[in-house]
Amino acid sequence: MDEAHTIYYKNLLDEALTHIKTPKAMVVGALATDTNAFEKNKLLFENAITNLESKGVHTFNQLPFLDIHYEHSPKNYALKFEIFYKGLIYSKMISTLYVLPEYENSKGTLAEIEYAKAANVPVVYL
């Protein structure tokens, strides 16, 4: 089963990378897709992306690639972070990570920050 999940997330990464022609910034933070806070958090992401874009910072929007948008997603978040998000950051197509406030309890965001630091991608806390 993990092999099928691995292939799934590698394919999702490939799809995401086709949308990034030049390096872009990426907004990260707690999304809590499986809680009532998701809609509020999604709005925070969208507002941050809009604000950065208005300042000339080209961003990659990760929201369309969330598992909740894919009916057949394995929803194996540990594996997704290791393959998809780590792959995005290590691809050199993410130029800067912008971290939303209140990320401290988000395992995913903490992993993304760790990947960025290891890949020498600047991390900016909003």
Q: Report the C-alpha gap between 79 and 68 in whole angstroms.
A: 15
Do residues 85 and 111 touch, judged by C-beta distance below 8 A?
A: yes
More confident residue, 14 or 70: 14
Q: How many residues does the chain have?
A: 126
- Report the run of H or E that residue 110 belongs to, with start and end: helix 107-118
- Please give the pLDDT value at position 71: 84
Supply the pTM of this predicted model: 0.92
Q: Report the C-alpha gap between 36 and 62 in whole angstroms.
A: 19
- Please give the pLDDT value at position 20: 95
Longest dimension (CA), the chain: 44
What DSSP designation does 7 have? Answer: H
- Please give the pLDDT value at position 72: 85
Q: Report the C-alpha gap between 37 and 71 in whole angstroms.
A: 21
User: Which residues face 28 on adjacent strands?
Assistant: 99
**What ranges do the domains of the chain cover?**
2-125
DSSP-assigned letters across all residues of 11-53? HHHHHHHHT-SS-EEEEE----TTSTTHHHHHHHHHHHHHHHH
Least confident span in 31-40, 76-85, 108-117: 31-40
